[in-house]
Every structure is written in C-alpha cells, then in structure tokens.
Amino acid sequence: MANVIYVLNGPNLNLLGLREPAIYGTDTLDDIAGMLEDRARDLDLEIDMRQSNHEGHLVDWLHEAQARGAKAVLVNAGGFTHTSVALHDAIKAITTPVIEVHLSNPHARDSFRQTSLVGQAAKGTIAGFGALSYVLALEAAARF
C-alpha cells in the first residue's frame, strides 16, 4: 500500500458545491476526487478518498492509514480542525505523514478558525486555493 494516499474529509464536506460557494467554491467532493485521481495516476499513486461527519471515523482512518502502510494522509477536518484534540493526538500517534488541507484560508476568516489543532500535529498545511489545495497537497505527499 506504499503508493496509496488517504484523503480524509470531515464534517459538512459532503455538501461542497452547495454549502457557501462564495467561501468553499462550486466543486463537489466528487469533483475534487476526480481531480485527485487524474493527478495521482500521473504520479503513480492511488487515492483512497473518504468523508465522514463523525470524528471517530476520522481517528479510525488515521490509524488504518498507518496500519496499512499508506504513503501519506491528506486531511481536511472541517470544523474539527479547530476543536479536536482527538484528531491532533491521532496524527501525533502515527508515523505516516499528514498534510492538513483547507479550501479557504482559515487565517482570513473568523478568529476561532485561526487556531488549528490538526495543523499543530500535521507535517504541513495547504490552504486557501480552493480545490487546488488538494492537488497541491497531493504533489507534496508524492515527495514523501
């Protein structure tokens, strides 16, 4: 599984394309998955893309990525980014590199979004480029 990149998406990301398009854009999660699949093919990588509105699923999937020998994990934890000690700890508990991804730039938004517990544990963060943020994170992950 060394060429697999897990792409984990948190709460409300299933509503991309409908939810606040002025902030998050009009691309759906399926559109983003297609972009990632296309680019992954060029990089000789596979994508395992998942979404859940439940924190525990994201924690379990981080553990699974480690157990299965994934090359890296891209994670857009949505609102859990700013609140989840559990995700922070799960990222710290694994050796698989984790890249935090955001469609918008949290630092240009509400003050409560400017602290990232996920980002404090991740190897790096790519944010503010819309759907391209995921592709840029994939490019970075390919280098691990």
134 catalytic? Reply is no
Q: With a cut of 70, say whether residue 78 has pLDDT above it.
A: yes
The whole-model pTM stands at 0.94
Which is catalytic among the residues 6, 88, 102, 134? 102
Task: Mention every residue, 6+ apart, whose C-beta is less than 8 A from residue 115.
Answer: 82
pLDDT tens readout for residues 45-73: 999 999 999 999 999 999 999 999 999 99
Q: What are phi and psi of 131, to 5 degrees?
A: -60, -30
Beta strands in the chain (DSSP E): 4-9, 46-51, 72-76, 98-102, 124-127
The answer, yes or no, to whether residue 112 has pLDDT greater than 70, is no
**Residue 57 is among the residues annotated as catalytic for this protein:** no
Report the CATH architecture of 4-142. Answer: 3-Layer(aba) Sandwich (3.40)
Q: What is the overall mean pLDDT for the chain?
A: 94
The tokens for 120 are 């404090």
| Residue 122 near residue 74, CB atoms below 8 Å | no
